[in-house]
Amino acid sequence: MTVVPADALPGGLPAAGETTGPAAELGPRARLWPALAAVYRAQLSRARVARIPLLFVATFQSVGIMILMRGVVDGGDEAQAVVAGSAVLVVAFVALNLLAQYFGQLRGSGGLDHYATLPVPPAAVVLGAAGAYASFTVPGTVVTAVFGCLLFGLPLTHLWVLLAVIPLVGAALAGLGAALGLLAPRPELATLLGQLGMSAALLLGVLPADRLPQAVRFARDLLPSTYGVEALARTFATQPDWALVLADLAVCGAVGVVSLTVATWAYRRAAVR
């Protein structure tokens, strides 16, 4: 029998019994920003296909609420609150409700195991998904805000503030939705919590604050989307108080950082189980 030398084996593989020295190290984990961009693009592509009908429902729901409120509210501060709350409600429906359902189903079906095998930081998974769902709310929010301004006779001049309101409110609510979905023990409970969160955004965000009982106003102040509603509503004034607008947006940003941090922790906790 002819013995084939080791260096003649395919690919330079050693013969049986030979050692090759220390094992090669695995490649380094992907950096945060490239990994985040990859997850964001993948989630946005998925959401574009699967969530367009739901986005239409969210927009139609907010527009319908404004039409109903038009028979009760004539104008002034109450009209500003209704339009701002209805616009932010689109963000709550997608970023809070749908994201809670998504992560709840992902955890329940074992889909987190797939992400756990990828060499991407946990923060990239959470931030990428949250960013995609928040971005997906842009068309519906803009349409709702423009329709509401035309319906109630409010100025369109400062609607550019939506460029700040949507990502900041979206980050706060998406982080909250992701945390609810990841911490819920069952997908059904994640869906329930997402629905309750959206209902809170509806009742506490769309209804004018001065018509709510004091105890309910306190609960309203605890809801992250409230500060996005207040920031947008203030811009409908003839001379907006930009200091208060910036303060409300700063609160949204701070809550967004906290909620996304909690969601990242919840992802790590769920992925190791």
Ordered alpha helix ranges (H), 71-223? 76-91, 99-108, 111-117, 122-135, 138-152, 162-183, 187-206, 214-222
- Read off the pLDDT band of 35 (50, 70, 90): confident
Quote the Cα angle for 129-158-254, to 5°: 40
What is the Cα–Cα distance from 57 to 97, expressed in whole angstroms?
Answer: 13
pLDDT for 28 equals 56
Sequence-distant (6+) residues with CB within 8 A of 182 are 103, 104, 107, 263, 266, 267, 269, 270
Size (the chain), residues: 273
d(CA 142, CA 146): 6
User: What is the spatial distance between Cα 122 and Cα 103, in angstroms, rounded to a whole number?
Assistant: 13
Mean pLDDT value across residues 86-110: 89
Return the pLDDT at 241. Answer: 94
User: What per-residue confidence (pLDDT) applies to 172?
Assistant: 92
| pLDDT tens column, 46-77 | 766 666 777 788 899 999 999 999 888 877 88
Single-letter amino acid code for the residue at 121: P
Residue 193 near residue 177 (C-beta atoms within 8 A): no
Token code pair at residue 164: 């700040």
Q: What is the mean pLDDT of residues 204-215?
A: 85
- Grouping H, G, I as helix, E, B as strand and the rest as coil, residue 242 is helix
Torsion angle, CA of 143/97/31/38, rounded to 10 degrees?
-60
Q: Where are the domains of the chain?
A: 31-271
Q: Is the four-CA dihedral 128, 134, 137, 139 of positive or negative sign?
A: negative
Taking the C-alpha atoms of residue 160 and residue 173, their distance in angstroms, rounded to an integer, is 21
Asked if 249 contacts 166 with a C-beta cutoff of 8 angstroms, the reply is: no
pLDDT score, position 251: 95
Q: What is the pTM of this model?
A: 0.84
Position 10 pLDDT exceeds 80: no
Burial class of residue 113 in the structure, from the number of CB atoms within 10 Å of its CB (0-12 exposed, 13-18 middle, 19+ buried)? exposed
Please count the other Cβ atoms lying within 10 Å of the Cβ belonging to residue 231. 28
Contact 125, 270 (CB under 8 A): no
Most confidently modeled of 15-29, 208-222, 240-254?
Answer: 240-254
Alpha carbons 123 and 40: distance in angstroms, whole number: 12
